[in-house]
Amino acid sequence: YMQVWNLDGVSRLSGYLALGGVVIFGTVLAFSFYLWGVELIGAPKASMIAAIEPVSAAMFSYFWLNVEFTAYDLIGFIAIMLCVLILSKDKKDEFKC
């Protein structure tokens, strides 16, 4: 449909600046801030927050881009939230045999 084999690539300064912005802000700084956050709050809490990220991205797309969701999408959101709640539960609350 898009015939990507006919694209010329980045050819102007604005294209190179946009590419550099994606590399610097979207990759280097984002990953550096994530690692800094893991150092501050610990790996278990950071992984719980990272597990919720797809749901928050979907909510932002719903409110900003007016994306409509199906029942399967909502079931997936609930499944993610339940998994995060189950994993964050303290071990001392479990029954011992």
| pLDDT at 55 > cutoff 90 | no
N-term to C-term CA, the chain: 60
Which DSSP state fits 23?
I
| pLDDT at 62 > cutoff 70 | yes
Look at residues 36, 42, 10 and name the one whose alpha carbon lies nearest to residue 23: 10
Q: Any idea which of 27-31, 74-78, 92-96 has the lowest mean pLDDT?
A: 92-96
What is the spatial distance between Cα 79 and Cα 64, in angstroms, rounded to a whole number?
23
The two three-digit tokens of residue 21, written as one number: 């912005």
What is the spatial distance between Cα 40 and Cα 49, in angstroms, rounded to a whole number?
13
Q: Any idea which of 6-15, 26-35, 68-77 has the lowest mean pLDDT?
A: 6-15
Segment 72-92 mean pLDDT: 82
Name the one residue in this structure whose structure tokens are 């790996």.
43
Look at residues 30, 29, 8, 26 and name the one whose alpha carbon lies nearest to residue 18: 26
pTM of the model: 0.55
